[in-house]
A = this chain, B = another copy of it.
Amino acid sequence: MNDESPQRAGRPRRSGGRAARTALRSAKLAEDLRPVRAGMAGGTYKPLSDADVDAIYEAALVALEEIGLIDAPQSGIDAMVGAGAILGEDGRLRFPRGLVKEMLGKAAKDVTLYGRDPKYDMHLTGTNVHFGTAGAAVHMVDVEGRNYRDSTVQDLHDAAKIVQQMDNIHFLQRPMVCRDITDNREMDYNTIYACVSGTTKHVGTSFTEPDFVGDCLEMLHMMAGSEEAWRERPFVLNSNCFVVPPMKFATESCQVMENCIAGGMPVLLLSAGQAGATAPAPIAGAIVQAVAECLAGVVYVNAIKPGHTAVFGTWPFVSDLRTGAMSGGSGEQALLTAGCAQMHQFLGLPGGAAAGIADAKLPDMQAGWEQMCSNVMAGLSGLNMVYEAAGMHASLLGFCHESLVLGNDLLGQAMRCVRGIEVNEATLGLDTMRSVCMGGPGHYLGSDQTLALMQTEYIYPEVADRTSPKEWQELDKPDLIKTAIAQKEKILAERSRVALSPDVDAAIRERFNIHLPVQ
């Protein structure tokens, strides 16, 4: 039982009863008393046996030794061959297992991904779980109009403002493309601006060309106050598709990665194969290939800069094999992601993968079951970084602000499941059971234990509805989507609560062509 219960924290003890309990609930809980928070430990779900994990690792090592990867840039070839990789006459770079293991020894572990506000720092270790957005959707879902339209920089900034207010969304990786900015250089730095000016949580982004990294680093130095301050706490990560599966380096993205590493920016080594298309169709095989590709990335990063922060980003996706189209909302996707989490834990590396994707076009019942299935399984498997966890529809093509608001409730519930069942003398409850059953009231409604656990062990939704049918009718049958729209509009009506300081903002606007109007 929690010694920090509301009663012991100094509030008067109250008798049971609905009004008292509702009042007690209305006080916002201190962060450390909340029933769920970022970084809770999962790991109770293990889709792979220990022997399965060994077999997948061994197959990945064989793939690296015998198949290897092609198309690294010359700078990468030089660094990796220098470290012990072997360049074949077929142009493929192969990795002896000794090299892989040596680089695993050098790789950064137990890393922290920083937020602009330190309270949002994320410690990636063990089975700690964090949920956040990601992706490169090209559409916004217009829920009221039942329509898909091009996504804009304003949409991205709005997503950042919403994420900032959502307790159960722990980071913002850029989920959509600013299609109203046609110059890619401008798009890249405007993407960072739109995200960082809307949230103080950790941000992830991509770069279109290696050349564009410099501008962005300059902006980040301005935001941080100095290059030194930036390098001390880099609050933006480069989500880097350094491979084009199967088993090919993405030449330009590798050059982007080298520039980011030089600039002190953490990287996400992202292998996004599609089972049955660019990865083997069996779930196990898709994991093997993703692990092999990301291990090549670990060699690459640590050959350049030992111990540089890199997230092991095995993101295998699922194809609907009838059509070849992506199906991020499938049960197979949930298994792929959870299986990857086990491999991260086996390797001892900070890891991330994709979950929470809906194939549904709108935030409907299908979206709900698709988003929950992979999110809760990713959480239970102890995935450090659950990417795409909220807002994502149409198998990554559409992003939805209302879904972010709804996703916050969904993820709160998923994280409650990650927290799990605490078993100890107090929670086993024999003393309470004795006093309730033998000479007591015959129910637990007003018991001290019940009141103490009410806020600290049970999580309550923000927008989801728990009324009885009678109450629901009296409330004029609230509609979930309308409730979400109202909450979204309330957040977006306010100026960003965490905008950049006016001085910094003015300096950035002086130096860069910022498309987002001054808010």
Contact surface of A with B, Cβ cutoff 8 Å: 1, 18, 21-22, 25, 44-49, 51-52, 55-56, 59, 62-63, 66-67, 90, 92, 139, 146, 148, 246-248, 275-289, 318, 320-325, 327, 329-332, 334-335, 339, 359-373, 376-377, 380, 394-395, 397-398, 403, 406, 409-410, 412-417, 420-424, 426-430, 432-434, 436-438, 442-445, 447, 449-451, 453-454, 457-461, 464-469, 472-473, 477, 479-481
Contacts and interface: CB of A to CB of B under 8 A. Distances in A.
B139 A469 contact: yes
A329 B320 CA distance: 30
Contacts of A25: 322
B433 A289 contact: yes
A52 B421 contact: yes
Given A281-B454, A362-B480, 14 more contacts: A48-B421, A148-B473, A246-B436, A276-B453, A281-B450, A283-B457, A288-B433, A320-B466, A321-B451, A321-B458, A324-B445, A330-B459, A368-B369, A373-B417
B281 A449 contact: yes
B331 A280 contact: no
B365 A284 contact: no
A160 B139 CA distance: 42
A214 B227 CA distance: 84
Contacts of A409: 366, 369
Contacts of A287: 421
B421 A335 contact: yes
A247 B432 CA distance: 13
B44 A447 contact: no
A479 B59 CA distance: 44
30 contacts: A18-B324, A45-B45, A47-B420, A59-B428, A67-B433, A246-B437, A277-B443, A277-B445, A280-B432, A282-B427, A283-B427, A283-B457, A284-B421, A285-B433, A288-B430, A289-B433, A320-B458, A325-B466, A325-B468, A331-B414, A335-B416, A361-B465, A361-B467, A362-B480, A364-B479, A365-B368, A366-B464, A368-B371, A368-B372, A377-B417
Contacts of A406: 365-366
Contacts of A473: 148
Contacts of A427: 282-285
A416 B246 contact: no
Nearest to A283: B421
B369 A276 contact: no
